Amino acid sequence: MLVRASIEPLAWESEFFQRPSAKLHFSDSAPQVNPAELDVFTLTQAKVPTHRLDLIDALGQLGFKLVEGEVDLSLSVGVNDTVGTENASFSVDAKTDTGTCQHRVTTYPYRVATTEDIPLLRSVAANAFALSRFRAPWYDPQDSGRFYALWAEKAVLGTFDHQCLLVMDSSGQPAGFVTLRDLHDGSARIGLLAVFPDAQGKGIGSSLMSAAKQWCQSHGLHRLLVATQMSNIAALRLYIRSGASIESTAYWLCRG
């Protein structure tokens, strides 16, 4: 099988990881991929629907190897929906984007993260997302953590994702965060969602999903999207428990 795709140079990733990087975009009308064109880049990524085994096999012949699987999910956010997930309930001040999430008998307030929170968020993100598709042998061991630490920072600044919400525990300390991006088509996408290590098992994950859904409601958005690694069973359970359905699955492959 011929692989037909355009090759997109990834300027930002090339600079950040210090590796000339590119990504394939598949199309029947695109030219056949020439291995010599791929050799220009240290790394070339490809995201392939899981049912396209023929394409995966053809990419293997070009030197691509499996990196990780990805599951994309979505859930509807209705104006009259009960806010929250499972045993969670939620109230919000739309002007300040602050509110509370109640999980069973514990009330978890949330607020918008500020620049003062960036050092903490960077540290948590670097550890929470240390394992991702940005992994060895294509990337250095610390690269994934660096990448997601910067992602969290940019979400606070509104320069990548548009906002970062912090859920606070019963003692008023940050217990988890979620970043959100308005896609300007009536939907939003969760970028990062993480529960702090010492807050596991307290319903913080459900509260973060509640906060994300309420953020959508307060911004007039009716659909929430989120993607996670196939290997992240805990995240998949959380999202499905929160009302999400699987939209698609894909494999990430890399050549380099």
Does residue 51 sit in the same domain as residue 108?
Answer: no
What DSSP assignment string belongs to the chain? ---BEEEEE-HHHHHHHTS-EEEEEE-TTSPBPPHHHHTTSSEEEEEEETT-HHHHHHHHHTT-EEEEEEEEEEEE--TTSPPSSTTEEEEEETTTTEEEEEETTEEEEEEE--GGGHHHHHHHHHHHTSSSSS-TTTS-TTHHHHHHHHHHHHHHHTSSSSEEEEEE-TTS-EEEEEEEEE-SSSEEEEEEEEE-GGGTTSSHHHHHHHHHHHHHHHTT--EEEEEEETT-HHHHHHHHHTT-EEEEEEEEEEE-
Does residue 56 sit in the same domain as residue 111?
Answer: no
Residue pair 169/204 in contact (Cβ under 8 Å)? The answer is yes
Does residue 89 sit in the same domain as residue 115?
Answer: yes
pLDDT score, position 203: 92
Q: What are the two backbone dihedrals, phi and then psi, of residue 249, each rounded to the nearest 5 degrees?
A: -135, 150
Residue 100's nearest CA partner among 114, 116, 83, 80 is: 83
To 10 degrees, the CA torsion angle through 190, 192, 196, 199? 20
Count of domains in the chain?
A: 2
CATH code at position 141: 3.40.630.30
Does residue 112 sit in the same domain as residue 35?
Answer: no
Does residue 18 sit in the same domain as residue 87?
Answer: no
Does residue 144 sit in the same domain as residue 44?
Answer: no
Domain boundary among 63, 89, 112: 63
Residue 126's nearest CA partner among 102, 145, 103 is: 145
Is 34 assigned a ligand-binding role in the annotation?
Answer: no
pLDDT score, position 131: 87
pLDDT score, position 98: 56
What whole-number distance in Å separates Cα of residue 66 and Cα of residue 212? 32
Note if the pTM is more than 0.85.
yes
pLDDT score, position 219: 96
Would you call 239 a catalytic residue per the annotation? Answer: yes
Does residue 155 sit in the same domain as residue 33?
Answer: no
Q: Which of 139, 148, 239, 251 is catalytic?
A: 239
Supply the range of the domain harboring residue 141: 73-248
Tens-digit pLDDT profile for the chain (256 aa)?
899 999 999 999 999 999 999 999 999 999 999 999 999 999 999 999 999 999 999 999 999 999 999 999 999 997 555 433 322 223 334 344 556 554 443 558 899 999 999 999 999 999 999 989 999 999 999 999 999 999 999 999 999 999 999 999 989 999 999 999 999 999 999 999 999 999 999 999 999 999 999 999 999 999 999 999 999 999 999 999 999 999 999 999 999 9
